[in-house]
Amino acid sequence: MAFFTNKTVVITGASDGIGAALAKAFAKQGTKLAICARNKEKLDTVAQNCKELGAKDVLTVTTDVSKMEECEHFIQETIKKYGTIDVLINNAGISMRACFVDTDIEVIEKVMNINFWGAVYCTKFALPEIIKNQGSVVVVSSVAGFKGLPARTGYSASKFALHGFFESLRCELQPDNVHILIACPGFTNTNIRNTALTATGDTQKETPLEESRLMSADTVAKAILRAIEKRKRTIVLTTEGKLTVLLNKFFPKFIDKKAYQKLAKEPNTPLKKWK
């Protein structure tokens, strides 16, 4: 993909999972990278890997995307170093698993602050440069942004909010020829379920899924790179995800029941058993 060579690519939440896979995939294309996350040690390891894979340069900035001033600092440091931004990928995110009736409201706020506001903050500060370059803004979302999932109220709310925000922004930016991609990977083999929040805000520390059977982060990264180059609007990557989005348009009550039954079978589910 010579399309990306020498372009400046910014990725949030790049210390592991899809973010790290994206950084490495772009590194192979000879890009200049700016990556951020909260864990400096993991971030530095990803940066070193990217340099070995062929990145022109890699900037790392330890950042909590839920804080506006840290997002602004990250974007300013990127522009200071590289002079511009061509692609922004809002990947940083956190999940949750708890029934709303049992959930501390601070858990919902934390999920929204990271997943939604983190993307809004970074986009706000990077957008002038992206407009200049007629570049791309990407948000890594989820099928949960099309279909609300039980025991994921805060997570689904954050993804629905992202879809509304970026669809509106896409409409606004038509005269500027800015590309906006909403990428929905489906269940992917990452650390997001281990770090998902419980009803009290503690981390779940274990996944309820058989991770080895899920789509790999590298597969997701390759699909996102192709979608950026082709300037696609939205991608849903799994067959299950595509069926869920399609059938929910026509048979929402049926999909409500199926979603509940599926997630109620997870180990240690907070959902009541229902036949």
The verdict on pTM exceeding 0.85 is yes
136 close to 181: Cβ distance less than 8 angstroms: yes
Q: What is the pLDDT of residue 213?
A: 67
> Which residue in 141, 172, 139 sits closest to 156, CA to CA?
141
272 close to 264: Cβ distance less than 8 angstroms: yes
- State the average pLDDT for the chain: 93
Tens digits of residue pLDDT in 112-165: 999 999 999 999 999 999 999 999 999 999 999 999 999 999 999 999 999 999
224, burial (CB in 10 Å: exposed 0-12, middle 13-18, buried 19+): buried
Least trusted range by pLDDT, from 28-32, 44-48, 190-194: 190-194
Q: Is the pLDDT of residue 26 over 90?
A: yes
In the structure, what pLDDT confidence band is assigned to residue 29 with cuts at 50, 70 and 90? very high
Q: What is the pLDDT of residue 273?
A: 79
In the structure, what pLDDT confidence band is assigned to residue 2 with cuts at 50, 70 and 90? confident
Is 155 catalytic? The answer is yes
> Which residue in 180, 187, 222 sits closest to 207, CA to CA?
187
Residue 50 maps to a domain: yes
114 close to 19: Cβ distance less than 8 angstroms: no
Least trusted range by pLDDT, from 73-82, 161-170, 208-217: 208-217
| CATH number for the domain that contains residue 158 | 3.40.50.720
Residue 86 maps to a domain: yes
How do strand 136-140 and strand 179-184 relate by DSSP bridges? parallel
Tens digits of residue pLDDT in 193-222: 567 899 999 887 665 555 566 789 999 999
Residue 19 maps to a domain: yes
Q: Report the domain count for the chain.
A: 1
- CA separation for the pair 195, 203 (Å, rounded): 5
Residue 273 maps to a domain: no
Residue 275 maps to a domain: no
Q: Among residues 82, 121, 155, 260, which one is catalytic?
A: 155
Percent pLDDT > 70 in the chain is 93
Q: What is the pLDDT of residue 272?
A: 87
In the structure, what pLDDT confidence band is assigned to residue 245 with cuts at 50, 70 and 90? very high
Show Cβ contacts of residue 47 under 8 Å, excluding neighbours closer than 6 positions: 23, 33, 35, 58, 60
Q: Is the pLDDT of residue 169 over 60?
A: yes
Residue range(s) defining the domain that contains residue 197: 2-264
> Which residue in 129, 93, 89, 122 sits closest to 110, CA to CA?
93
H-run or E-run covering 34: strand 32-37
Residue 79 maps to a domain: yes
Residue 270 maps to a domain: no
Q: What is the pLDDT of residue 188?
A: 64
Residue 271 maps to a domain: no
